[in-house]
Amino acid sequence: MKKQTGRPSRKKEKPFKLVKVFSLTSLIMVFAGTVVISALNIRWARRIQLEKSEEYAHVLVENLNHQVFQQFIIPTVIKFGQTQLRKKEQFERMDKVVRSTLHSFDVQMVTIYGIKNVISYSYDPDRIGKEKIGGTGYDQAIKGRIFSKLVQTGNFWEIFLGIPKESKLVTFAPVKVDKLVLPETGFDTPLPVLGVIEIVQDITRAYRGIFSYQILIIITSALVMTALFLIMFYVVRNGEKIIENRVRERIKLKEQLSRARHLSSLGEMTAGISHEIRNPLGIIRSSAELLKKQMAPLSPDNTIPGVIVEESTRLDKIITDFLNYARPKTPQQMACRIDEILKKNVSFLASELETGAHTVTLAFENDLPEIIADVDMLYQAFLNIIINAMQSMPDGGNIHINTIAKDETIQIQIDNDGDPIDPDHLEKIWEPFLTTKDTGTGLGLGIVKNIIHAHGGSILIKNRADKGVRVEILLPLMQNASTRQ
């Protein structure tokens, strides 16, 4: 029969590992999706910002166009007959109108082109008089259309990540005759274009604010995903441990069931064989006893019949242990007292205790309640335990027996001062046929355990902290025992 180990097989872990991988993969995908959505939202925010900046520029141009026409062109034409910005007085008046109109707005540069694409006014005096530098923006504006473009400076990664060194919105708009001057002009009638205004807005701060918002969103998402990951990791780890424990328990139960079936079959076979051996064995022992009596007068020194009787008796005891283990008896329950059974055990073993230099200390709690139990079976169980304690102390020692009523049960503790049990043997102490004695069968403790369990109790064997071994037995009181019948 192939022996199984307590470790769960990979085949049994595989379904849960798939769940774990799926959970972690889903979390990563959710995080990646969050980052993508955040990036799309930032792109949408930038587009909205650009559109708002363009609308803002349109309003500035329209206001500037109105102020220039009302405060510079009309007064200048009335006073001088025409506008000539080359003249210092007119240029200073124009500069004053433009700067007073835009002084509270974030405008970096203002340039005014004439009809022939010649710069007639600019914040930068070095640009005045230059020709043909308006480009596409001038061409669109001279036709009456407003044109805007975003100009960003920086290296590739700065622009790709949305953090350019500078971001400027350049807007070209036509300078038109004010509607107040031509009131008869219809709403849909295009107004004459007198020139082109170029406004440069610095929107670097707005773009950097959007980038900071983007970083905040990503950090927040990362923190939330990290928290979710830790929670999921904790849940998955706990789930994994629970699954592994259940797998181990299931494998352990299968092993116990397989062992129980094996032992059951072995027990049935042993019981049958033992029963068949017991009858002829009884005849052999009876014949040997008769032969011993008849040989005594003829050959007093002949020990063969005595050896046959002794070995037959020992073999009969082994067969009895086999039968008691393989076919446990049903308790014949009646009211009894634990202290009286234990006193009877000690009294029966008195001569052996004295011979082996063993002492027994009895400590019974006063007024121990009665229990419902099979007196003979408990007597056999206690007897086996005390004999084992004596055998563990071949040079003598003390055996302490203590009984107390505790939590609807009676607790019996039997301690000895012998050598502790090897930890490897302690784990397998209830397995049948396991013994460290030369003449033992390894069934004594198994019989004891069957008897205690048949009474609804429990038994535990452990090494004491100082020295020796302790046997703890819990038996239910009369009321609990009655309910188990």
Position 331 scores a pLDDT of 82
Position 411 scores a pLDDT of 92
Answer yes or no: is 26 within a domain.
Answer: yes
Answer yes or no: is 310 within a domain.
Answer: no
Closest CA relative to residue 410, chosen from 471, 338, 362: 338
Beta bridge partners of 200: 109, 170
CB 338 within 8 A of CB 309: no
Q: Are residues 27 and 171 in the same domain?
A: yes
CB 202 within 8 A of CB 227: no
Cα-based torsion angle of the residue sequence 319, 321, 323, 326 in order, rounded to the nearest 10 degrees: -130
Position 484 scores a pLDDT of 41
Cα(91)–Cα(101) distance, rounded to whole angstroms? 15
Cα(195)–Cα(175) distance, rounded to whole angstroms? 5
Q: Look at 433 and 365; give whichever has higher pLDDT.
A: 365
Of 202, 218, 234, which residue is a domain's last? Answer: 202
Answer yes or no: is 49 within a domain.
Answer: yes
Answer yes or no: is 446 within a domain.
Answer: yes
**Domain containing residue 40:** 10-202
* CATH label of the domain that carries residue 53: 3.30.450.20
- DSSP-based three-state secondary structure for 168: strand
CB 324 within 8 A of CB 447: yes
Cα-based torsion angle of the residue sequence 421, 424, 425, 431 in order, rounded to the nearest 10 degrees: 150
Q: Look at 13 and 366; give whichever has higher pLDDT.
A: 366
Instruction: Give the tens place of pLDDT for each residue, 406-428.
Output: 878 899 999 998 888 888 777 77
- pLDDT of 2 > 70? The answer is no
Position 184 scores a pLDDT of 53
Beta bridge partners of 168: 151, 202
Answer yes or no: is 317 within a domain.
Answer: no
Of 143, 177, 202, which residue is a domain's last? Answer: 202
Instruction: Give the tens place of pLDDT for each residue, 160-206.
Output: 776 788 888 899 988 877 665 555 555 455 667 888 889 898 888 88
For the residues of 315-333, what is the DSSP string, one character each? HHHHHHHHHHHHSPPPP--
Answer yes or no: is 252 within a domain.
Answer: no
Position 321 scores a pLDDT of 67
- Which H or E element spans position 335? strand 334-336
The CB-side HSE value for 187 (13 A sphere, CA atoms) comes to 0
- pLDDT of 14 > 60? The answer is no
Instruction: Give the tens place of pLDDT for each residue, 67-111.
Output: 888 888 888 888 888 777 788 888 888 888 888 888 877 788 899
Q: What is the DSSP letter of 108?
A: E
Per the structure, how many domains does the chain have?
2
Residue type, 209: G
Cα(381)–Cα(376) distance, rounded to whole angstroms? 9
- Which H or E element spans position 90? helix 88-102
Of 176, 202, 228, which residue is a domain's last? Answer: 202
